[in-house]
Amino acid sequence: MGINLWGLVSQAFVFGVMLIVLAKWAFPALMKTMDQRERVIREGVDNAEKAKREVAEAEKRVEALLDQARRDAQDAIAKATLAAEHVRRDIELDAQSRARDIISQAERRIQQEVAQARSQLRQEVADLAIQAAEHVVGNSMDQTTSRKLVSEFVTQSRDLQC
Amino acid sequence: MLWKLPNIGVPSDALFYIGPFPVYNTLLLSIVSALIVLGFFYFATRKASIIPTPIQNLVEWVTETLLHLCEEVAGKVNGRRFFPWVASIFLLVLMANWWEVIPGVETIGTINHEVPGCPAHPQTVLGIFLVDHASSNCITPWLRPPSTDLNFTIALAIISFVATQWYGFKILGWRLQLGRYFSVREGPMGLVVGLLELILEPLRILSLSFRLFGNLFAGDVLLLVIAFLVPFVGAIPFYFLELFVGFIQAFVFAFLTLIFMTLGTTSHGHEDPEEEHAAETAHATHQRAEVALSHGEKSAS
């Protein structure tokens, strides 16, 4: 079978040397690197988780701000609508008042013009009547007296009409 | 017939002597195997960085896989404790096993004049198929796979056994460890069980060493015979088979060492939950491994 003490011892020695070198230097060095890598990866994962949480929180904050902005915008729109309604109403009232003023001014002017026209007409009628009377009765009456008589007549006739 | 079947012998051959000590062809490859493993680790850890080089990646992968295996079977603490033994055994045996598929191993050597019918003067031969018909069975190879030498397998099995006992005494204490074999408290049955344990423990050396030796020596002979029957191409499929067998046998040797260490450091009381879990895992794994081994050996035969 070839089994002998030297053969066993020499093979065991080779294994022993290899075991000592691996156990003392190689495995610890390798495990140190692996542990270091694991730490780095874990830190990376933790940081990613943290960043994810922060992003979620930021999204929540952004959402809240957007909600607030939407509410503010709606309030502003409502206020603006109200103010516009007020302004519209004011403008309308102002316009109505101005229209009334214009109408009343126009009425007054019309009345004045009517009065003026009536006066003018009365004068013309008087003149015509005087001319007619002068033509009928001749020059027996002077012009001032005739005008006074016609004017009294017209006034009486208007009073009678009223 | 172009060549004769090479002379197949179990004992390894002494190549030369250092003083009174012979240097065997298997010892030479054992040293080379250890140097290759150490070389891998040297280049992997020389400029080890967080971003690994390909060789560092490979070595880390192997280390991490073995470490996880140890921690899974023996628990976190004991797993880390046993890991250097298990990993060293696995890597050395793996390298030792895979030598048999390397061209030149067992085919480069010297004409052995002690074999009857061989030339009287030693002569270097670079390849078994390059010699003439008369001398083709006379080669003493310079290199032979260490696993085909019983000295290698028994030495590793003894180391595994001694380490198991040493850890048993260290972790359990001498009273509990001796109590496994000389259990007076549990009555006559305990004594019988202890006696059986006492007989079985050293028998593990035989089972470990002869399993590895048998598988690898048989594979080696198989490759030689096939290469003799169908030279150059006939052995190619068997190279893949032997690569697989070499890996499996290295794994089995290391794994059984781990299981023996786990069982050897577990007291019957199981006060520690981790210890209890490790013992249960080791028992279950041991049974599964035995079943798988018996199936594997049947199919291989």
Domain assignment present for residue B275? The answer is yes
CA B226 vs. chain centroid, Å, equals: 24
Give the residue from B216, B260, B211 showing the smallest Cα distance to B242: B216
Which residues of chain A have a Cβ shorter than 8 Å from any chain B Cβ? 1-4, 6-12, 14-19, 21-23, 25-27, 29-34, 36-37, 40
> What does the DSSP 8-state code read for residue A138?
-
pLDDT for B98 equals 92
Same domain flag for B131 and B253: no
Nearest partner of B160 among B254, B242, B80, judged by Cα = B254
* B100 plus B125 within the same structural domain: no
> What is the arithmetic mean of pLDDT over B125-130?
57
How far is Cα B132 from Cα B4, in angstroms, rounded to an integer? 9
pLDDT at A65: 95
The answer to whether the Cβ–Cβ distance between A14 and B34 falls below 8 Å is: yes
pLDDT attached to residue A126: 83
Q: Kindly identify which residue of chain A lies nearest to residue B81, measuring between CA atoms.
A: A23
pLDDT tier, B264 (very low <50, low <70, confident <90, very high otherwise): confident
Q: Is the pLDDT of residue B273 over 70?
A: no
Q: Are residues B58 and B199 in the same domain?
A: yes
On whether residue B1 sits in a domain, the answer given is no
Specify the higher pLDDT residue, B116 or B211.
B211
Based on the fold, state whether residues B263 and B253 are members of the same structural domain: yes
Name the closest residue on chain B to residue A23, using Cα atoms. Answer: B84
The Cα B58–Cα B41 span in angstroms is 10
The whole-number average pLDDT for the span B222-250 is 86
Give residue-wise pLDDT tens across range B60-116. 999 999 999 999 888 888 889 999 999 999 999 999 999 988 887 877 777 777 767
Single-letter amino acid code for the residue at B125? V
Contact by Cβ (8 Å): B290, B298: no
> Is this complex scored with an ipTM above 0.85?
no
Mapping DSSP onto H, E and C, the string for chain B reads CCCCCCCCCCCCCEEEEECCEEEEHHHHHHHHHHHHHHHHHHHHHHCCCCCCCHHHHHHHHHHHHHHHHHHHHHCHHHHHHHHHHHHHHHHHHHHHHHHHHCCCCCCEEEECCCCCCCCCCCCEEECHHHCCHHHCCCEEECCCCHHHCHHHHHHHHHHHHHHHHHHHHHHHCHHHHHHCCCCCCCHHHHHHHHHHHHHHHHHHHHHHHHHHHHHHHHHHHHHHHHHHHCCCCCCHHHHHHHHHHHHHHHHHHHHHHHHHHHHHCCCCCCCCHHHHHHHHHHHHHHHHHHHHHHHHHHHHC
Higher pLDDT, A41 or B3: A41
> Is B219 inside any structural domain?
yes
Contact A30 B44 (CB under 8 A): yes
CA distance A48 to chain B (A): 19
Q: Give the pLDDT score at B280.
A: 62
With a cut of 50, which residues of chain A have pLDDT below it?
none
- How many folded domains does chain B comprise? 2
Beta-bridge mates of residue B125: B109
B93 and B120 co-located in one domain = no
| Confidence tier at B142 by pLDDT (50, 70, 90) | confident
- Asked whether residue B259 falls in the same domain as residue B128, the answer is no
Q: Is A19 in Cβ contact with B85 (below 8 Å)?
A: yes
The per-residue pLDDT for B135 is: 66
* pLDDT given for residue B192 in this prediction: 85
Q: What is the pLDDT of residue A143?
A: 72
CB contacts of A32 in chain B (<8 Å) are 48
What is the rounded distance in angstroms from the CA atom of residue A65 to the CA atom of residue A109?
A: 64
| pLDDT over 80 at B4, yes or no | no
Which one of A15, A22, A34 has the shortest CB-CB distance to B87?
A: A22
Q: Tens of pLDDT along B174-199?
A: 888 787 778 777 778 888 888 888 88
B62 and B123 assigned to the same domain? no
Spatial separation of the C-alpha atoms in residues B84 and A27, rounded to whole Å: 8
**B88: nearest CB among A2, A15, A34:** A15
- Decide which of B142, B169, B202 is a domain's last residue: B142
- Whole-number Å distance between alpha carbons of B241 and A133: 161
- Which of these three, B96, B121, B142, is where a domain ends? B142
Q: Looking at the structure, do residues B121 and B252 belong to the same domain, yes or no?
A: no
**Can you give the pLDDT at residue B284?**
66
Residue A2: closest CA among chain B residues belongs to which residue?
B11
What pLDDT score does A80 carry?
Answer: 95
Both B56 and B130 in one domain: the answer is no
Per-residue pLDDT, B301: 47
Task: To the nearest 10°, report the CA torsion of A100, A101, A102, A106.
Answer: 100
Q: Strand B108-111 and strand B124-126: pairing?
A: antiparallel
CA-only gyration radius of chain A, Å? 61
Of B122, B142, B162, the one marking the end of a domain is B142
Quote the domain boundaries for residue B228. Answer: 25-105+149-300
Question: Going by C-beta distance under 8 Å and a sequence separation of 6 or more, which residues neighbour residue B91?
Answer: A22, B37, B62, B250
Selecting from A12, A16, A27 the residue whose C-beta is nearest the C-beta of B63 gives A27
Selecting from A4, A23, A29 the residue whose C-beta is nearest the C-beta of B48 gives A29
Q: Does residue B99 sit in the same domain as residue B120?
A: no
Chain A residues within an 8 Å CB radius of B154 = 3, 8
Q: Let me know if residue B66 belongs to a domain.
A: yes
